[in-house]
Amino acid sequence: MLIRAGYDLTFAADMPTPMVAMLNLHPSRRADLRTEHRIVADRPVTMEDFVDGFGNVCTRLVVPVGGITLSCDFVIADCGEPDRQSPQADQHTPDLLPPEVLPFLLGSRYCDTDRLSDTAWYLFGGIEPGWARVQAIVDYTHAQLTYGYQYARATRTAWEANGERVGVCRDFAHLAVALCRCMNIPARYCSGYLGDIGIPPVDIAMDFHAWFEVYLDGAWHSFDARHRVPRIGRILMACGRDAADVALTTAFGPAWLTGFHVHTDEIKESATKSGTLPLAA
């Protein structure tokens, strides 16, 4: 299947403001592109890409006085299948993990494992290590938190989300990630696109989405505590220890988001062959 995705993000600024944007496609998905993936600006600015320590592609720019709109629109191929399920996947003991995976066992800015460790072992210590334990954590997180945009708070940690029992997708991901790490399961936070593909349309504005991946049986596997069930059409942008590592944009000065539009829709293959793509919603 083919998915058309992208965004228009508008920022206001009253002085030149350096910014790092993590709005690129993750390198692991570049081979699936069917059109060019390029960030464009509505004003002439220099943009420079670099790769961070987690393998994400980041873009440096300076937001000019008066602001700027960053846009992207691309088509990507997808297998069209729900998230891969591997219920027999085993959990590695920490001494057998690859060195590059070990950081995803540690506490981080939003995943305060030190405060959740006792809770995690009480809830999940009696569950078989591996896939079953991760699924139990997903089920718990999904039931524990009530989702709503009105509950968004940029400073909320996993421990606070568990106590407050509310949040947005990033809070669901942070809590599940932290609980997995407490149980010695490497887990990393993911950001990207997830459209209403394979489900009834949802009557809310499209947004970027947060989910998480765990390392079992020598591979990373996607889980989604917000939705709890496997979904179709995930498009990874970036991954890290938590949302602090994969912030969509980081401004080094006064810059305000004043416009936000994301689109993610399945399209017919004939549209790309003919060169006429449908208008983004």
Q: Report the alpha-carbon distance of residue 46 to residue 156 in Å, rounded.
A: 34
Check whether residue 109 and residue 14 sit in a common domain: no
In this prediction, residue 272 carries a pLDDT of 60
**Same domain for 228 and 98?**
yes
Q: Provide the whole-model pTM.
A: 0.94
Tell me, yes or no, whether 89 lies in a domain: no
For 138, the domain range is 94-240
Question: Mean pLDDT in runs of 10 for the chain (281 residues)?
Answer: 98 98 98 97 97 98 98 97 96 97 98 98 97 98 96 97 98 98 98 94 86 98 96 97 97 96 90 56 45
The number of folded domains in the chain is 2
Specify the pLDDT at position 281.
45
- Long-range Cβ contact pairs of 269-276 (< 8 A, separation 24 or more): 269/2, 271/2, 272/2, 272/34, 272/35, 272/75
Q: Are residues 265 and 170 in the same domain?
A: no
Tell me the CA distances in angstroms from 75 to 26, 46, 81, 173, one per residue in order.
Answer: 14, 25, 17, 27
Q: CATH number for the domain including 8?
A: 2.60.40.2250
Q: How far apart are CA 124 and CA 236, in angstroms?
A: 29
Asked if the structure places residue 278 within a domain, the reply is: no
* 209 and 106 share one domain: yes
Give the pLDDT of residue 279.
53
In the chain, the N- to C-terminal Cα span, in Å, equals 19
Give residue 205's pLDDT: 79
